[in-house]
Amino acid sequence: MKKTIIAILVVLVTLGSVFANAATEQKQQDVTVRMWTFIDPEGTGGRNVALKQMITEFEAENPGVHIVVEPKTHTTMTAEFLAAASTGTAPDIMWCSSGLLFGCIANGLLEPYENLFMKDWTPEQIADVDDAFFKFGSKDGKHYTLSLSKNAITLYYRSDLLEAAGCSVPTTFEELYEVAKKCTDPSKGVYGFGMQLTSGDYPLVTNYILSKQGSLFHEDGTANFATDAGVEAMQFIKKFIDDGITPYEAISKSGEDINLEFQAGKYAMMAYGFVRVGQIKAGASYDPSYVKVAPVPTGSWIDGWHVGIWSGSKVKDWAGKFVEKMYEPESDLLWVNLGAQAPVRQSTKNLVEITDANDYIAVAGEIFGTGYNIPNDKSYEGVKEAFYGALQKYIVNGMDPLQALKEAEEQFNKTNNR
């Protein structure tokens, strides 16, 4: 009798274990990880295809775990994240902009990666990704983000047009003006330089100021735009339009408009984001091998997207695993080879064969190594918008450049409560 009872108990315990394991497996099958980014995996661009492949691989490696991308507009999605976090509806994975990253970290909205997968990383793994971008997402020894789509405001140029004009790649702003002037031929519909004057990335006027005074801000984080260097920079930009090197209609066009016109052959050079180099080559109406990139004279703005885990996520571990997937060596090669991105790992550079199609990778190190970035000790929201507003007031409305910069200072300081 006792043996029968013991046998029954053993069966019950075994069944209980089976049902418990089944429940655990079922629980994993219900895991959904939400991610906000501007890259739609259903799109056809290189970055889109690369992200789609990573998702497919990750879901195959982890049955029952689903990565759901909710594509967002890049200009507003970080502000939307801040709002969504306050209502408990934020995504598990967030791609944050540089300007608003401080607020995300300071308000405790991002989980330190040391609490997730990074606690198991070796010193060699850390060294492989340790650069200015890696440091930018850190605070008090903790890392809250890993950067993808490393960007820089880059000088794009057509090597065939510069060669025809007998010009070398400009390395100073004075050379930039002279080369652009020599490449300008309105009779052929070609202008020397295209630049963003209404919206988009950091406008060139900020690079000029930085080259003269080293920073756009005082030590307390207030704006330092209305200076002699600021006025000189504004006048330098306007000279391109006054002298017909940049057509006047550019003052009303978006950055994307300028980009498309460069692809169509309207400009010999332009200042634009490095992350778009693959798309620009693919869309060129001329031999794409003529599309080259170089640092903006005296240094490019470096920017990019900082990927973090929402601290309120209920699936932090799985979210962390997918972030690590997007950052692993094999994925870095996908971002480079399919997405035409700059490598995020030191080791990846040694695995990429440089050809005419991807020779931009060879100068990526110089572009990112000599660039500027905003500080990460405070919020620096609205820098770009303030300067675009100043340019419009000066060039279109005829406002005194110093006054336009003073108003830009007031706008920036008010935005950041300073």
State the virtual CA torsion across 237, 153, 51, 256 in degrees, nearest 10: 10
268 contacts 162 by C-beta, under 8 angstroms: yes
Distance (Å, rounded) from C-alpha 195 to C-alpha 310? 36
Q: What is the pLDDT of residue 357?
A: 78
358 contacts 338 by C-beta, under 8 angstroms: no
**Range in 97-101, 110-114, 141-145 the model is least confident about:** 97-101
Instruction: Looking at 338-382, list the stretches that DSSP marks H as alpha helix, in order from N- to C-terminal side.
Output: 360-369
Q: How far is CA 192 from CA 43, 245, 269, in A?
A: 33, 5, 6
DSSP 8-class letter at 71: E
Distance (Å, rounded) from C-alpha 403 to C-alpha 397? 12
Q: What is the pLDDT of residue 245?
A: 98
Q: Where are the domains of the chain?
A: 31-144+304-362, 151-301+371-415
Residue 266 has pLDDT above 80, yes or no: yes
Nearest to 180 by CA among 297, 276, 259: 297
**Range in 103-117, 218-232, 304-318, 346-360 the model is least confident about:** 346-360
Mean pLDDT of all residues in 279-293: 95
Q: Per residue in 326-362, is it b (16+ CB within 10 Å) or e — as a string?
A: bbeeebbbbbbbbbbbbbbbeebbeeeeeeeebebbe
Distance (Å, rounded) from C-alpha 182 to C-alpha 163? 11
Distance (Å, rounded) from C-alpha 385 to C-alpha 270? 20
Q: What is the pLDDT of residue 28?
A: 52
323 contacts 309 by C-beta, under 8 angstroms: yes
Q: What is the pLDDT of residue 23?
A: 40
Amino acid sitting at position 215: S
Distance (Å, rounded) from C-alpha 181 to C-alpha 164? 13
**Range in 128-142, 384-398, 402-416 the model is least confident about:** 128-142
pLDDT tens digit sequence for 215-260: 999 999 999 999 999 999 999 999 999 999 999 999 999 999 999 9
Q: Which CATH class is domain 151-301+371-415?
A: alpha beta
**Dihedrals φ, ψ of 220, to 5°?**
-85, 5
Distance (Å, rounded) from C-alpha 36 to C-alpha 68? 9
pLDDT tens digit sequence for 15-69: 455 444 444 444 456 899 999 999 999 999 899 999 999 999 999 999 999 999 9
- Residue 284: its H or E element: none
Mean pLDDT of all residues in 99-127: 95
Mean pLDDT of all residues in 179-189: 96
Mean pLDDT of all residues in 262-277: 95
Q: Looking at domain 31-144+304-362, does it have CATH number 3.30.460.10?
A: no
Mean pLDDT of all residues in 279-308: 92
- Alpha carbon 80 to its chain centroid, in Å, reads 17
pLDDT tens digit sequence for 131-144: 888 988 999 999 99
Q: Computed from CA positions of residues 217, 218, 220, 226, in that sequence, does the dihedral angle turn out positive or negative?
A: negative
Amino acid sitting at position 47: R
Q: Computed from CA positions of residues 338, 341, 347, 349, in that sequence, does the dihedral angle turn out positive or negative?
A: positive
Residue 176 has pLDDT above 70, yes or no: yes
For the chain, percent of residues with pLDDT exceeding 70: 93
Q: What is the pLDDT of residue 397?
A: 97
Residue 1 has pLDDT above 70, yes or no: no
Do the domains 31-144+304-362 and 151-301+371-415 sit in the same CATH topology, yes or no? yes
> What Rg do the C-alpha atoms of the chain give, in angstroms?
25
Q: Which residues contact 82 (CB under 8 A, 6 or more apart)?
A: 100, 103, 104, 107, 109
Q: Output the six-digit token pair for 111.
A: 């989980």
